[in-house]
Amino acid sequence: GAGVSQSPRYKVAKRGQDVALRCDPISGHVSLFWYQQALGQGPEFLTYFQNEAQLDKSGLPSDRFFAERPEGSVSTLKIQRTQQEDSAVYLCASSSPGNTEAFFGQGTRLTVV
Amino acid sequence: AQSVAQPEDQVNVAEGNPLTVKCTYSVSGNPYLFWYVQYPNRGLQFLLKYITGDNLVKGSYGFEAEFNKSQTSFHLKKPSALVSDSALYFCAVRAHMDTGRRALTFGSGTRLQVQP
């Protein structure tokens, strides 16, 4: 596609529910990143994939957070047993081997009530 | 560890005046530096980057930034501000590719308000 696509754009979850957030990177981009952006803050790194391999998951805040990219393209970020502190915008970004900059999707705004 | 500081939460400037948004960074080794802009309910849009070479880099929409290694700074500048430049600006850093860590570390953002 023309850009990074994320779905859904908005998600409201009741506390304790599981959620799954989807990211379609730019075609051909091997690197994929997930970031969490709390209200009024800068994005914070969650995890990084190169193709299907998850090379860095040091930013995942707890074992309730899980990400996968099984075929090296679409990625899913799953949050189990959501808590209010998980409320944030989740941003996905991708980059190609020849580029140093990452291109971001519009994000998914998660609200846990 | 790498970090970015954006000391100003908000910068106000009159349309037509020059603008500067400040950024300082800390990283092991040579840095890759970036500026992104975020409009309401939108994702981050890439503006410009410094990788190597000329310390003054030019980017989209007339923006430029100056890399200063001795001051570990990468301030964003524009000679003449437009009302449409009003947005949230983020500075980001990552270490040189050879050191492995690919993730960006972002500053807390600076809101630019350009008054007509």
Instruction: Please check whether residue A38 is in contact with residue A88, taking contact to mean a CB–CB distance below 8 angstroms.
Output: yes
Residue A4 DSSP class? -
Chain B residues within 8 A (CB-CB) of chain A? 4, 32, 34, 36, 41-46, 49, 51, 90, 92, 97, 101-109
The predicted structure's pLDDT at residue A1: 53
CB contact under 8 A, A42 and B106: yes
Residues of chain A neighbouring B106 (CB-CB closer than 8 A): 35, 42-44
Longest dimension (CA), chain A: 42
For chain A, give the mean pLDDT.
95
Q: How confident is the model at residue A99, as a pLDDT?
A: 77
CA atoms of A6 and A105, how far apart (whole Å): 6
- pLDDT bin (cut points 50, 70, 90) of residue B102 is confident
By the 10 Å C-beta count (0-12 exposed, 13-18 middle, 19+ buried), B72 is classed as middle
Q: Region B89-107: what's the mean pLDDT?
A: 83
Does A106 lie at the interface with B, CB-CB under 8 angstroms? yes
Domain count within chain A: 1
Residue B104 to residue A33, Cβ atoms within 8 A: yes
Q: Name B54's Cβ contacts closer than 8 Å, sequence gap at least 6.
A: none
| Backbone phi and psi for residue A90, each to the nearest 5 degrees, phi listed first | -105, 120
**B105 contacts A45? CB cut-off 8 A:** yes
Q: Which domain holds residue A44?
A: 5-112
In the predicted model, what is the mean pLDDT of residues A56-64?
Answer: 94
Name the residue in chain B with its Cα closest to that of A109: B41
- What is the CATH architecture of B3-115? Sandwich (2.60)
Q: Fill in the amino acid letter for B3.
A: S
High-pLDDT (> 70) share of chain B, %: 96
> How do residues A11-55 score in pLDDT, each as one tens digit?
999 999 999 999 999 999 999 999 999 998 999 999 999 999 999
**Omega before A8 cis (within 30°)?**
yes
Contacts of B101 in chain A (CB under 8 A): 56
Nearest to B114 by CA among B84, B90, B79: B84
pLDDT value, residue B41: 76
Q: Tell me the CA distances in angstroms from A61 to A47, A48, A66, B102, one per residue in order.
A: 10, 14, 10, 18
Selected residue with higher pLDDT from B99 and B33 = B33
For residue B98, the SS3 value is helix
- Give SS3 for A97: coil
Least Cα separation, residue A48 to chain B (angstroms): 7
Question: What CATH number should be reported for the domain holding residue A73?
Answer: 2.60.40.10
Total residues found in chain A within this entry: 113
> Domain map of chain B by residue range?
3-115
